[in-house]
Structure 1
């Protein structure tokens, strides 16, 4: 059982593995095999580019600027956007920004196919979201990198499962907190405490 979220030592970040707890993944004998995977050409390219994006723009570049920087460093030219219909205006702006910065952009809306929710045994006048379709069409477009923009919980899981291109997340869906799910964490010891830690009856 791994409990990195509950660790207060973080020996991995300090390179002090002699102080690491027994269940620290850094001490696992699989680590050498994991490191070998980074030697794959595509993996090495992504790992290096992302590390340079962090070090060169730390605390200065926005997530959008970092995404553009990352794509350029990886020489990704064809960018896919899988977006929620609720963020259509944001998708339009994101598409324009990426195009202006020299990328080819393919974007697919969540409601592609206009599939009735009856297909998944839910009675509704609203068509179901089709993240598998989003992934499929971006695969056909041979995108180099796909960006998730506001897909719902679960829909994002299916998109990630079926996308052939690497994926980065630009925004996640949280209708209550203006798409900032960390807001619930920030309020977990005050306003949201009873909701997140409900008392058993």
Structure 2
């Protein structure tokens, strides 16, 4: 099992592995070689080169939104897909306008697309049995954006699990601009900053 989180050597940063732990990923030579070969594929090479251009250009100077826009420009993308949560519709509208103002064609799909009744999906939920409640449809979001032939897709506020299904089914490359955290104003890392104080007892089971 790999334990990079607790490594004190971090030899990978400089390519020095003499003192690397026995379970250091570098010892998985077959996997490392296979991954390296993937970067030689033309489409992957272009993609990773774009990420490096963005890193050199925007490190510490561009917001996540600006980085996303700049990356799309570097890659030459024209048609962008936005899959958003209904709870962030206002933010999605603002973001789509920003993308359009930067010259992109944008197709946006809300999470409630398709109007699927939760009763059709959920098992053994007697409390919900007799009332209509529309389910989120991340697979539908992915399929609709696939149909639109978007070149790059952006998830905005999808719930945990829903985002997983969206990324699983969407065909074009995708990134997350906002992740859902209703308690911390969609800033989940805030809980990590408080993991040794306010959130300590809540995290310790």
Q: Shorter chain as normaliser: what TM range?
A: over 0.9
Distance in 1 of aligned mates of 2:120 and 2:47? 38
Partner residue in 1 for 2:183: 176
Measure how far apart 1:126 and its partner are. 2.4
Q: Contact 1:17–1:27 (CA<8 Å) still a contact in 2? A: no
Residue number in structure 1 paired with 2:197: 190
Superposed displacement of residue 63, structure 1? 0.4
How far has the Cα of 1:9 moved from its partner? Answer: 1.3
State the TM-score, normalized to the length of structure 1. 0.96
Q: Measure the CA separation in 2 of the matches of 1:101 and 1:67.
A: 11
User: Does 1:11 pair with 2:11?
Assistant: yes
Task: Establish whether residue 136 from structure 1 lines up as the match of residue 143 from structure 2.
Answer: yes
Could you tell which deviates more after superposition, 180-189 or 18-27?
A: 18-27
- State the Cα deviation string for residues 94-151 of structure 1 (Å, max 9, x = none): 1000011011100000000111000112525320000000000000000000000000
Q: How many residues align?
A: 198
RMSD: 1.0
Counterpart in the other structure of 2:42: 41
Alignment deviations for residues 132-172 of structure 1 (CA, whole Å, 9 cap, x no partner): 00000000000000000000000000000000010111000
Q: Aligned equivalents of 1:126 and 1:98: distance in 2?
A: 32
Deviation beyond 4 Å, 4+ runs, structure 1: none
Offset of residue 27 of structure 1: 2.5
- Matching residue of 1:146: 153
Aligned to 2:18, what secondary structure does the other structure show?
helix
1:157 aligns with 2:164: yes
CA distance in 1, matches of 2:58, 2:86: 31
Report the alpha carbon displacement of residue 76 of structure 1 after superposing the two structures with TM.
Answer: 1.1
5+ unaligned residues in a row in structure 1: which ranges? none
